Amino acid sequence: MGTIFDASCWAIVWKYRATFVNGFLNTLLTAAAGLVLALVLGVVIGLCSTGEKKFLRILARIYVEFFQNTPVILQVCFLYYALAYSGVRVSVVTVGIISLGVYTGAYMAEVIRAGITAIPTGQFDAALSQGFDRLQTMRLIILPQTVKIILPPMVNQMANLIKNTSCLFIIGGADLIATTYNFVTGESTGGAYGPAYLVGGLLFFCMCYPLSLMASKWEAHLKQKSVQTNDDKKEVTA
């Protein structure tokens, strides 16, 4: 790490800054697309795990337990080599989107399940008595109330997904970690370990920190809005 104060090493990093930008954009693309997949799977599996049909609850449990209890790096490797040996050609980014999306979807499903079960059952009964079907009850009444509950853990999973893109390094990915490693071991760029890894870390920080900060402000706003609503109700009843 002594090279972190070496001006010549920083000059090399600046000269090849496009390498880090490319890795940053690939990581961002993989994380964003993987997050969309994870949210879709999380909502579907979360609803199945709290549904009335036992068969769907069992399937949801199997999905969650399997993907939560196996390493994500193993899932990435399995998908990559399974597709390769079956003759299906896909990019490393696509493999990353699918594997990370499915993996994070298991955690999102648990977050959503916990949020749904935290809502009093009386609200389900009240909605059904008013003529709402289960889907309408979830979409219009239950899920909007779970936002304050699921937001903090969901943001944590979003940040974890971004950081888990580093697993693509093992299959020769074009993510930020892979491009940084290729940079520090390159024939013409090797040796600038300190500056290169510091830049890589700062770029990861730039992706994760604003997300956490935004979610914290959103959560505080929702709590304040909830308190204000309760105060208004008390004034009306008084």
Lowest mean pLDDT among 101-115, 168-182, 197-211: 168-182
Q: Which residues form the domain of 151?
A: 7-237
CATH of the domain at 102: 1.10.3720.10
User: Structural domain tally of the chain?
Assistant: 1
Q: With the C-alpha atoms ordered 79, 57, 156, 146, is the resulting torsion angle positive or negative?
A: positive
Q: In this structure, is residue 212 part of a structural domain?
A: yes
Residue 125: both structure tokens together = 């009964």
Q: In this structure, is residue 2 part of a structural domain?
A: no
Instruction: Give the range with max mean pLDDT: 24-33, 145-154, 165-174.
Output: 24-33
More confident residue, 103 or 128: 103
- Gap between the Cα atoms of 50 and 135, Å rounded: 12
What percentage of the chain carries pLDDT values higher than 70?
A: 93
pLDDT at 55 over 60: yes
Reported as half-sphere exposure (CB side, CA atoms, 13 A), residue 72 has a value of 24
Task: Give the pLDDT band of residue 2 (cuts 50, 70, 90).
Answer: very low
Residue 158 main-chain phi, psi, to 5 deg:
-60, -45
DSSP H stretches of helix in 3-91 = 7-15, 17-49, 54-68, 72-85
Q: In this structure, is residue 1 part of a structural domain?
A: no
pLDDT value at residue 230? 60
Q: Quick count: other Cβ atoms within 10 Å of Cβ 156?
A: 16
Q: In this structure, is residue 149 part of a structural domain?
A: yes
Q: In this structure, is residue 209 part of a structural domain?
A: yes
Q: In this structure, is residue 143 part of a structural domain?
A: yes
